[in-house]
Amino acid sequence: MNILVLSDLHIDTCDNFGTFQWNEMDLIMQIEGIRDIHSIDKVIFNGDVFELIKYSFEDIQKANPILMRYFSDNDFIFIRGNHDVLNEFAVNHYDIINSLGQSIHIEHGHNADWLNGNKLGRSLGKFGLTMLKKLSYSKWVMNIYFKIVALEDEINHIPKKYNTIKYLTYALKLLKDHDVVILGHTHKLESHHTYYLNKKKRYLNSGACTLGRFQGIIMDTETMKYELIKESKESINNSYSIRYAI
């Protein structure tokens, strides 16, 4: 079986504060193109598909009607991330066992963080947001908030923000019971091979599809052969024009 794993789209209402920055049709065409070329049997969305911390699901639906229709018309798997824990249609993880008995474990990966991984951390985060919403009528409070967010972005910029060793350590723990572990969450597309418990093990991260990027993983679950996909808006536009020219 060929799988395509995508994560961290953070689909928003396409206002100025979001990071999705995709045109619905462009994204659909990109996914469909890959499904076609690589004969993908299953598309798995590995968490943080929706930005439900900043926006309501209803507003996101209204802003992206074609994409929502596309999701509901297809037999896709949705895994829960820390930004879309409220997604009712999502599962906490997805596991595949191939004909050789090898196992692939896919989860978003936020359980490696203290703040995201426990209920207290999540409710603290929610409390902050509720307060912010209450204060959002005040322009100067919002101005200060955006300054803090910008500053924090500068200081804790990805990948510095995510100490990726932490996720590697978390993946190694999961690799005791699995042959392949695929996480998302760090927005850093990567792959590591190691021999562990006398077996070849692989940790992959599906990266992100925010800010016009398109990153993900294609894997043949029988041979465990995989490919990392990394495209920018520009390269995608070029490949569209090539496709159209033909």
Contact footprint for Mn ion (CB under 5 A): 48, 81-82, 185
Residue number with the shortest CB distance to Mn ion? 185
Contact 143, 132 (CB under 8 A): no
Shortest CB 34 distance to Mn ion, Å = 22
Q: Least distance in Å: CB of 7 to Mn ion?
A: 8
Nearer to Mn ion, 17 or 196 (CB): 17
**163 versus 237: smaller Cβ distance to Mn ion:** 163
Pairing between β-strand 2-6 and β-strand 42-46 as defined by DSSP bridges: parallel
Report, in Å, the least distance between residue 143 CB and Mn ion. Answer: 27
Taking the C-alpha atoms of residue 77 and residue 45, their distance in angstroms, rounded to an integer, is 6
- Cα separation, 187 vs 7, in Å, equals 8
Choice between 13 and 82, CB closer to Mn ion: 82
Place of tokens 């495209």: 231
Q: Which residues are registered as beta bridge partners of 187?
A: none
DSSP label of 22: -
Residue 159 CB neighbours (<10 A): 11
Provide the minimum distance between the beta carbon of 185 and Mn ion in the complex, in angstroms, as a whole number: 4
Q: Which is nearer to Mn ion, 185 or 213 (CB)?
A: 185
